[in-house]
Amino acid sequence: MAVRKAQRHVRSKPQIPRILPSEASAILERCDHILKGSGELLRNLRSVGIAELFGRLDDSVLQLAIQPDSWGERTRARLMSDLAPALCTMTSPGSALNIEDVVRVTNAVTPCLLLEVGRRKGHIEVEFPQNPAAPTASFRLSVSPSVPLRTITAEKISKVVDQVGEALVGLCYFGDEESREIVEAQLIESAHA
């Protein structure tokens, strides 16, 4: 008599859809076109707010910008080449951006791109600060319809990304309950820290 091994049902994680290189090139061109056509908005971005720019970016541009491959890197670099000068407060007129400014803006805006994907998919609620790269930036965020919006600093958003980034990606893309619980627990821990 053959002995059967107990079958384990391992829940497979849904796969994040990847944009293929054949499509990525056209999306990157569209991103470039959007940014070139948004000169007035970019000049006033700190007062108008990042959400206004996100409204101009379609889903494929957002998804490509957070995709962890060379096309995603190119798209993020293209976005940051316009966002860094738009969101930085220069110490003096005519001063140039330094690498620390670009890194600060990139670190502040990249999680916003993911949060915007989650907001559009209806998995989270988020209200962005006008300038997420500002030292005092605060978000209004809820990871569940039953949880009211709470104020979260940009620093705490960054900590959530560092601590439970994979769960945040799962929540924003798929809205699964396990990811939601992990992110909510991290938000609660961050609030008490």
| Beta bridge mates, 142 | 125
Tokens for 35?
Answer: 């940014």
Q: Could you tell me the CA-to-CA distances from 189 to 34, 58, 113, 171, 185 in Å, in that order?
A: 39, 33, 23, 18, 6
Block residue for tokens 């209200």: 127
Residue 191 confidence (pLDDT) above 60: yes
Q: Are 109 and 83 in contact (CB under 8 A)?
A: yes
Type of residue found at 158: S
DSSP state of 2: P
Half-sphere exposure (CA, 13 Å, Cβ side) for 192?
5
- pLDDT tens figures, 50-94: 999 999 999 999 999 999 999 999 999 999 999 999 998 654 456
- pLDDT tens figures, 126-162: 999 999 999 899 999 999 877 889 999 999 999 999 9
Residues in Cβ contact with 50 at an 8 Å cutoff, skipping those fewer than 6 apart: 87, 109, 112, 128, 129, 130, 131, 132
Asked whether the whole model's pTM tops 0.75, one would answer yes
Residues in Cβ contact with 160 at an 8 Å cutoff, skipping those fewer than 6 apart: 152, 168, 183, 186, 187, 190
Half-sphere exposure (CA, 13 Å, Cβ side) for 152?
30
* Cβ burial, residue 7 (10 Å; 0-12/13-18/19+): exposed
Give mean pLDDT, residues 39-52. Answer: 94
Tokens for 75?
Answer: 């798209």
